[in-house]
Structure 1
Amino acid sequence: MSLLEHILQKVLEKIASVIAVFSQLFLYFPCGRKASNIEIAIAGYKLLQEKFYTREAFPQDWAWIQNELGCAYNCRIRGETAENLELAIEAFKSALPIYIGGRFSNEWAKTQTNLGITYCYRLRGDKNNNLEAAIKSFELALQVYSCEGFPENWAWTQNQIGYAYMQLEKEDVNNIEKAIQAFELALQVYTVDKFTSDWAITQNNLANAYLKRQQGNKEDNLEQAIHIFNSVLKKLINKQYPSQWAKIKNNLGMAYIKRKNGYKKDNLKLAVQAFESALQIYNSDDFPHEWATTQGNIGYAYQNAENYTKAHTAFAAAINIAESLRAEIISGSGIEVDKQKLAEEWNPYYQNIIEVCLELAQDQPQYFADAMEYAELSKSRNLVELLTTKNLYPKEDFYDRQGKQEYYERHCKELDELRRKNSSKQRQKESQEELKSLRKKRDELLKEINYIDKTFKFTQKVNKISFSEMQALVKEDTVLIEWYITNSKIITFIVKHNKESEIKNIPLVLTFSSEDLDSLISLCKQYLQAYYATDKEKWQSKLNSQFRELAKILHIEEILSHIPETCNRLILVPHRFLHLLPLHALPLSEEQNKCLLDEFEGGVRYAPSCQLLQLSQRLQRTEFSNLFAVQNPKNVLASLKYAKLEVDVIRSFFSSNYVLQETDASEVTLKVSENLPSSHCCHFCCHGEFDLKSPLESALLLAEHGSETQKEDGRLTLAEIFGLTLDKCRLVTLSGCETGMVDPDSISDEYIGLPSSFLFAGSPSIVASLWKVNDISTALLMIKFYENLIEHWNKSSELEESAVAIALNKAQIWLRDLTRTQFKQSIEQWTKQPLEQWIESLSLNYIDQFNLRSFFSTRTELEQWIENLSIRRTDKFYLERSLLQHQDEEQPFCQPYHWAAFCAIGQ
């Protein structure tokens, strides 16, 4: 090495050293804007690892940078929180292999501790799994750290392992006891004089553990927590340790809200004072999450003190920040699960502000509209955002001005492709690398577009839908009923047309007690437990009684008393687990043989939210002549015996039709079909499957084989449907099992199910089922539904907004009231052949023929058929006794199981 090269090397080493020190200073610098400081630190560390310390040449230095970079991502404010935490985990994990070995055991243990801390706060994945991974990392670190050899590191790791145990949601009271023990061990090292900050953090954690403690007297535990908080605050200087001081003040406030000792008014006053003190430190720029949480806590305190005006102000402020944090996610990776978890975290504030609005509305009725607007803001947000952004394009005028018209069509096409691929991949497991590639392409495309149209953004902020906009969705003959379930009550919003409203621009609101809510939760649990049990007949037998009970719980009679007699159309907007129940089938108590369907001849349809209803109404699809159908795909499940009848009759209604049958109805063939994007109606006559544990894995089951170059598993999942293009489609019918079920555990009411994917793919109307349906009754229902729909189309040459609901509801009533004699007439009308000949053409075995004839054949035909069977006398006697006991005028499909499963969703 020459002297010049040696000098240059020393200069570079000096520059690198300065950058390293500079980055570390900015990462922990207490002054200035914290968000900007962290960005400067990240930029410095990235520069070091790219230009100075590569993994190959300087592995130990590179590992140190990775550890520091992980710490920076851990506390990063800008960008998407969930993605930042993933980057931190990736950085820590990449450093660990280099530190393996005796020389670097301390660094290895430190990195394990940092990794564990990140798992504690991780948003992606199962919370308990993340916490268990954190505990494992801390335990590995403690194999290196001992109280004697590394007292500070040992105490810090004890503190962190205690925090992990405290956050575990498993029902084990010992977890809190383990947490308390760990915190007390840490405090053997951490003293207020030597380790003030760490001492304060550990004391804060210890007090929080007492707040959660189940063992011992609850009030004594609470008083112990308050004592610890106050003791720490007396010794902690807020200007020297601002974030710890503010956090303890916030926690102290929550303890005062829960306190039973003393006067409630005094405790709430102390709580507000503590929260307001915390806000002296927290601001919405540097501490957005903490600021919003504290504002929400102030709102809760004022709500308990019945100061509803101040509570409303505080909750509104918290929600505004929550909305801005969602915007960060939208402009970042767009991972749906991240947005859903964030929505669930902030959901209590939406519930609280709605309840506060209802209190304020007692004297100021305009708050009823405010309550419904906030209810809407919290519903189905991911899907609303996706659909709102879907048709966002750059301004064509800018391209014309610059003579770049040829770029416009290409840019729009690439945008469409990226959005669909991104929306599909972000719902699939193990697609992180593909998502990164898609985001890179998106950024490159955005840069190209912004060169021409500087105003264009890939996404846009979703504004709150106003009540006047909701009311505009309701025509003169229509009423919209929307439910909202809080932790304490069931709220029902009734929206009439402006001319029909008693008070203009305000919904009618009915609230029902916590007892009703408890009954509803109990009924839904029983319903789902019975449904997923092995004895399906027992579940079916209870449907009538459960629906009668549900009608009482929801006070359907009282709701109907507020609906004008001139109204003959109903739009239902369920909430949470109500999405799983056929509300259109709820019986009317005065006439037990009638239900909501009978009361509203103009149809009963569903919408996930008013905003999604508004978006679907904007899709103008005037054509309805081109059918694309999937018929009985060959897969591992049993063949659908009546699929041929169903699809053959339905296709005859359309002037143009294309059908994928059996082995041809594969996932590969469907995805590459040129007929699918141009279809006006898509009919899937196939098996469906809702995945209760992982709703994103729900699927339509198609044929399994693919082409030689492209293999598929035959499961057209919810995620994959997001990648389809159905921009000419007016209706998608999912004639299979569980195709309309959605996630019942979604606290934030995210509409996660097959209908959501088809709404995004482009169809404004979906017909789908809420349970495992019967093969023959489904075929009959579908044929009658399309017969009604085509009759409507032939009369007006268009499908009006509620045409799908009207056609489906009429078909359901027809099937419910269908007699055996009428069945025979319908089959002969549809198949153009005698019933006996049709049954023989199905090539059914004796058992299936027995089941079919036991429902539908006339007595004379049955006697003749039994006589012609080449079976033993005892078998003939069994058939005669079983079959001939039925009367021709009986209604074999009168039970809700056969006709109530299908719902019309959207337009």
Structure 2
Amino acid sequence: MSFFLKVVTKAFLFSSLIFFTHNSAAQFGIGDALKNKAEKLVKDKLKEKTEEKRESYDTLSFNYAIAFLDKTESFENQQKGEGLIKTANFLLRDDEPQTDLEVARDIYDFGRLNYNIGNQFLAETNLKLAKLKYEQISATNEPNYLKTIGLLGLLYSDMGRFTKAEEFTQTALDGWDELQGKNSIGYLAELNNHAVLQINLGNYLQAEKIIKQLGDNLNAEKENEMLPYAIYLNNEAILNQYMGRADEALGLLEDCTEIAKESLTEKNSTYLQFLTNKAILEQENGNLKTAENTFQEVLDLQESRLKLNAKNDPDYAHMKSNIAALYVEKGEYEKAEEALQLALEIYQDKFGEEHLTTSGTQADLGNLYRFLGENEKAEPLLQSALYTRERKLSKTHPKVVKSQEDLALWFWANGQIESATSYFKRVMGTSQEFIKDYFPALSEAEKTKYWEQLKPRFFRFYNFALENYNEYPELLEDFMRYRLSTKGVLLSSSTALRNAIFSQNDEELTRLYEQWIDQKQQLANAYALSEEEIKEQNLNVDSLDNAANQTEKDLSVKSDAFSTAYEDRNTDYKAILSQLKSGQVMIEIVQYPIYDKQLTSDNAYAYLILKKGAEKPSVIINKEGNLLENRYYSYYNNVINQKMKDDYSYAQYWKSMENEIGDASRIYISPDGIYNQVNMNTLQQPNGKYLIQDHDIRYVGHPNDILYERLAQSAGQQTAFLMGDPNFNSQNIAQLPGTKKEIEDISKYLSPSMTMQKYLNSEANESNLKQVKSPKYLHLASHGYFLEDKQANHNLFGVQLQYIRQNPLLRSGLLLAGAGKEESSGSSQSFNQSDNGFFSAYEAINLNLNNTEMVVLSACETGKGDIKAGEGVYGLQRAFIVAGAESLVMSLWKVDDTATQKLMSGFYKENVQGKAIPDAFRSAQLAMLSEYQHPYYWGAFIMFSR
């Protein structure tokens, strides 16, 4: 502050003070000397009190960065009356000389004042002067010096100058550590700011580590840490949202707002910003009515807080820009446009054109105009948003990539395909890098959520490429490359991690893996306990879940298995073409939502057909995906179970590919969507023959799998693990005597060349199954079960409803010995019980099948599960593949006991006689077809290989 400004300000204040004092003195006839003495006494007392208060505020008051879903601002934890006290203390001083330390503190206070009112230029100038002054007087161990450094970090973060922001934030962090230690409020405040900075930079994994450290050290019970704790919860919530955990994020925000209520008035701007975040997350979780009510509450409070100036405040703009997204989702586009225009005007006036906050609203409004077909209005807004983001952020920042995609979609809508292609290439390339960089350090649950956020980008590109590849052939190559690199990406990450652990002689990895398996087993047991039993045994299921997730993440960090596997899978389709032999065809099936200005709920299927001699895939598109998945599948399922003739399904699921396939002898199918549930072998052609009679159809998890096809039986462990005919101990569960004969027949065929591990009746239990160690063959003959997501409205076999809904692997499994006992209902489970007779896919995923050539699930509906586009079936199929099985035989519908026994016996007999597993399986089915004409008897089972 200049001396002139200081004098003028003081003169203004004291003209009022002296006027009051002078008039009062004159009224009582007090002389000037006495009046001056009285004035001095009053001023000295005021100075003493305000100085005391000021020192208190210096100790407690810090700036905390707050993360938002679309912008980041800072909140000053300013104590009640702090601004008035500091101003009074500053102005009440006489012009006696100040110490250098007092001068430095005054300059810092003035910089902080300007920061709080949004005057970034004056804030930076004065904070830099304060920094220099403290350094000149060697006072760098003063708390206010570290506050100066930290506030510069926040200022640069707000300005989008993230390199300088990181430099100053780290310096402040180190300074507080040295001065007061890692448990001091100063250190924790800077740790919070560092976490938000990492969120802004898109370094989510680093931010997560920092936030975990912050949460471990903050104490919500301490009065001076309640508000920082609320801010921490808010920031953790936003990070969870960015990483795809919308439900967890909402829970954290609800806790945040409850704590903040105790520290802030409901009209406080920070409390309103917390509420805004909560409303956004309510919307993300599908609670539209609740979200609208929360938004309206915020707007009403904001208007009453600032009265006439409410609609010129950036906080008001923030709230309007966020409610606009709700209006769009409700189809109220005029309201959305009005809200975004108002927000943009405020931001432009407050921050200028080239500010990240302004760019966010420009992008939102531009995308709204693009959606409404008003392309001329959309382009300048989208271009401006990208320009600002590219200047302020790194090239690979998620917001930069999002702006590039926005423009790609705009150019596509405007018919400028070459420009759209250029932008899409950048977007898709960076997105692949996201997968490679982020996935290794996430648990499978977190990978799943993150992929759900990223996957729509790939779907939009699929629509673009498939619409324009005829005119621009390189788009088809891009489409195939991105598809091959991401199909089954979640499955590949899980199997890669497991393979790495078993193949590396690493004691630390092995120890962590065993710890993880133990934690998951504890979780599986805990899921079957009632709420009362959980309380009795003093269990915290959420803590167990978090511990298992953390161990899995530690495993991933210590192994580069996924990154290596991801690179290996990123294979050019031409390698697959070169591997195909004469008469062989590969069909890659792609399910994707149709794009019409946005992704819709209508699905399409693309069939990419690769065959020997072709230079590129043939593409067939079927836009009746919803019919395939609903009406047509219901018909197929009905005629199978009713054992009726099917004159319809061939035309729906196969005919469009007929000409391209021709008379191919072998057809590899890499299924997606509903094609995981329809056995192509069972489709009857117009000539009366089934497809299995004319084609050798083989299901693979990924087109690349044929590059590693097993040509001969391995010379590995020659052990067969056979389990069947469990004793259910219940009149409500039918015994399966046919499975006993099935096991005995298989044992007879295999025993001359293999070691048998055979379990029947009461020995066909979970405990024995969980001891399995990589047999060559694993054969399980029993009842299977599967509960669809929409049917999950009650506990299943003792597993609590909330866990069933959140994990599809808990909704499918096998019934084993003891499943009929009353104890298995969950009414008398103990935490250490692991043999309740219900063997879920969640438990199957932990089996040791790393060198297992084949698993046969000879039970009903073992191929059922939740179908996820590009990821296959989440159920027993996925569990056994992740556990290590190379091939899996499973059923798509309820099977006939006798027919199944004959099929399985014939299968193993053919295999023992020298046929490879896929050939032996097909021969057994053809033999059954000659005895049982209808596919119900021979077509329930399919073989799936990886």
Structure 1 range deviating more: 365-374 or 190-199: 190-199
Partner Cα distance (1:757, 1:163) in 2 = 35
The corresponding residue for 1:385 is 493
1:211 aligned partner, one-letter code? V
Partner Cα distance (1:145, 1:549) in 2 = 66
> Which of 569, 575, 585 is residue 666 of structure 2 equivalent to?
569
* Contact 1:253 1:271 (C-alpha < 8 Å) held by counterparts: yes
> Which of 306, 320, 345 is residue 203 of structure 1 equivalent to?
320
Q: CA deviation at 1:290?
A: 1.0
TM-score, normalization: structure 2?
Answer: 0.69
Alignment of 1:370-519 (within 5 A): 370-388=478-496, 411=505, 415=509, 430-434=544-548, 436=550, 459-460=563-564, 462-463=566-567, 464-488=570-594, 490-499=604-613, 501=614, 504=615, 506-513=616-623, 516-519=624-627
* Contact 1:225 1:255 (C-alpha < 8 Å) held by counterparts: no
Q: What secondary structure, in the 3-state scheme, does the structure 2 residue paired with 1:511 have?
A: strand
Cα distance change, pair 564–164 in 1 and its aligned pair in 2 (3 A): closer
Partner Cα distance (1:18, 1:618) in 2 = 71
> Which of 854, 858, 864 is residue 735 of structure 1 equivalent to?
858
Q: What secondary structure, in the 3-state scheme, does the structure 1 residue paired with 2:848 have?
A: coil
Q: CA deviation at 1:468?
A: 0.7
> Which of 120, 124, 127 is residue 246 of structure 2 equivalent to?
127
The corresponding residue for 1:873 is none
Cα distance change, pair 86–700 in 1 and its aligned pair in 2 (3 A): farther
Partner Cα distance (1:346, 1:410) in 2 = 31
* Contact 1:35 1:76 (C-alpha < 8 Å) held by counterparts: no
The corresponding residue for 2:270 is 153
Q: CA deviation at 1:355?
A: 2.5
Q: What secondary structure, in the 3-state scheme, does the structure 1 residue paired with 2:576 have?
A: helix
Cα distance change, pair 184–709 in 1 and its aligned pair in 2 (3 A): closer
In terms of Rg, which structure is larger?
2
Say if 2:615 is the partner of 1:522. Answer: no
Q: CA deviation at 1:653?
A: 1.0
Q: What secondary structure, in the 3-state scheme, does the structure 2 residue paired with 1:743 have?
A: strand
Q: What secondary structure, in the 3-state scheme, does the structure 2 residue paired with 1:788 have?
A: helix
Say if 2:376 is the partner of 1:266. Answer: yes
* Contact 2:202 2:398 (C-alpha < 8 Å) held by counterparts: no
The corresponding residue for 1:362 is 470
The corresponding residue for 1:98 is 221
The corresponding residue for 2:345 is 231
> Which of 834, 844, 849 is residue 726 of structure 1 equivalent to?
849
Say if 2:267 is the partner of 1:169. Answer: no
Say if 2:440 is the partner of 1:312. Answer: no
2:257 aligned partner, one-letter code? F
Say if 2:907 is the partner of 1:785. Answer: yes
Partner Cα distance (2:758, 2:329) in 1 = 60
Q: CA deviation at 1:465?
A: 1.8
Q: What secondary structure, in the 3-state scheme, does the structure 2 residue paired with 1:169 have?
A: coil
Cα distance change, pair 681–670 in 1 and its aligned pair in 2 (3 A): same
* Contact 1:666 1:704 (C-alpha < 8 Å) held by counterparts: yes
2:938 aligned partner, one-letter code? W
Partner Cα distance (2:718, 2:883) in 1 = 19
Partner Cα distance (2:147, 2:784) in 1 = 57
The corresponding residue for 2:656 is 558
Q: CA deviation at 1:760?
A: 3.6
Q: CA deviation at 1:559?
A: 0.8
Partner Cα distance (2:459, 2:428) in 1 = 11
Which whole-Å deviations, capped at 9, do the CAs of 1:315-346 have from their partners, x for residues lacking one?
A: 232222222222333332x3112222222212
Partner Cα distance (2:517, 2:575) in 1 = 28
Please list every run of 5 or more consecutive structure 2 residues that lacks an aligned counterpart in the other structure: 1-137, 525-543, 595-602, 789-804, 825-829
TM-score, normalization: structure 1?
Answer: 0.71
* Contact 1:203 1:232 (C-alpha < 8 Å) held by counterparts: no
Q: What secondary structure, in the 3-state scheme, does the structure 1 residue paired with 2:943 have?
A: strand
Which whole-Å deviations, capped at 9, do the CAs of 1:106-163 have from their partners, x for residues lacking one?
A: x53563355245335525796346425524642553465335xx63334333433333
Cα distance change, pair 68–421 in 1 and its aligned pair in 2 (3 A): same
Q: CA deviation at 1:312?
A: 2.4
Q: CA deviation at 1:299?
A: 1.6
* Contact 2:245 2:449 (C-alpha < 8 Å) held by counterparts: no
Partner Cα distance (1:133, 1:410) in 2 = 39
Q: How many residues align?
A: 741
Say if 2:463 is the partner of 1:340. Answer: no
1:370 aligned partner, one-letter code? D
Q: What secondary structure, in the 3-state scheme, does the structure 2 residue paired with 1:734 have?
A: strand
Please list every run of 5 or more consecutive structure 1 residues that lacks an aligned counterpart in the other structure: 1-10, 56-60, 395-408, 447-455, 532-537, 794-798, 819-890
Partner Cα distance (2:618, 2:376) in 1 = 36
Q: CA deviation at 1:235?
A: 1.4
Cα distance change, pair 392–168 in 1 and its aligned pair in 2 (3 A): closer
Q: CA deviation at 1:252?
A: 1.6
Q: CA deviation at 1:307?
A: 2.1
> Which of 205, 208, 211 is residue 88 of structure 1 equivalent to?
211
Q: CA deviation at 1:652?
A: 0.9
Partner Cα distance (1:557, 1:783) in 2 = 34
Q: Please report the RMSD computed on the Cα atoms of aligned residues, expressed in angstroms.
A: 4.3
Which whole-Å deviations, capped at 9, do the CAs of 1:205-244 have from their partners, x for residues lacking one?
A: 2333333344xxx3422432453354235414347x7221
Partner Cα distance (2:341, 2:896) in 1 = 63
Cα distance change, pair 540–412 in 1 and its aligned pair in 2 (3 A): same
Partner Cα distance (1:13, 1:210) in 2 = 51
Partner Cα distance (1:358, 1:791) in 2 = 46
Which whole-Å deviations, capped at 9, do the CAs of 1:644-673 have from their partners, x for residues lacking one?
A: 100000111112222122333333333435
* Contact 1:613 1:906 (C-alpha < 8 Å) held by counterparts: no
Which whole-Å deviations, capped at 9, do the CAs of 1:255-282 have from their partners, x for residues lacking one?
A: 111225xxx4424534543443344445
Partner Cα distance (1:595, 1:67) in 2 = 70
Cα distance change, pair 424–367 in 1 and its aligned pair in 2 (3 A): farther
The corresponding residue for 2:402 is 293
Say if 2:328 is the partner of 1:328. Answer: no
Q: What secondary structure, in the 3-state scheme, does the structure 1 residue paired with 2:866 have?
A: coil
> Which of 744, 758, 774 is residue 880 of structure 2 equivalent to?
758
Cα distance change, pair 639–72 in 1 and its aligned pair in 2 (3 A): farther
Cα distance change, pair 22–266 in 1 and its aligned pair in 2 (3 A): closer
1:322 aligned partner, one-letter code? S
Q: What secondary structure, in the 3-state scheme, does the structure 2 residue paired with 1:587 have?
A: coil
Q: Percent identity?
A: 17
Cα distance change, pair 70–902 in 1 and its aligned pair in 2 (3 A): farther
Partner Cα distance (1:54, 1:496) in 2 = 60
The corresponding residue for 1:254 is 367
Partner Cα distance (2:906, 2:391) in 1 = 66
The corresponding residue for 2:6 is none
Cα distance change, pair 580–270 in 1 and its aligned pair in 2 (3 A): farther
The corresponding residue for 1:452 is none
The corresponding residue for 1:881 is none
* Contact 1:110 1:141 (C-alpha < 8 Å) held by counterparts: no
* Contact 1:734 1:766 (C-alpha < 8 Å) held by counterparts: yes
Partner Cα distance (1:51, 1:540) in 2 = 76
The corresponding residue for 2:162 is 34
* Contact 1:344 1:748 (C-alpha < 8 Å) held by counterparts: no
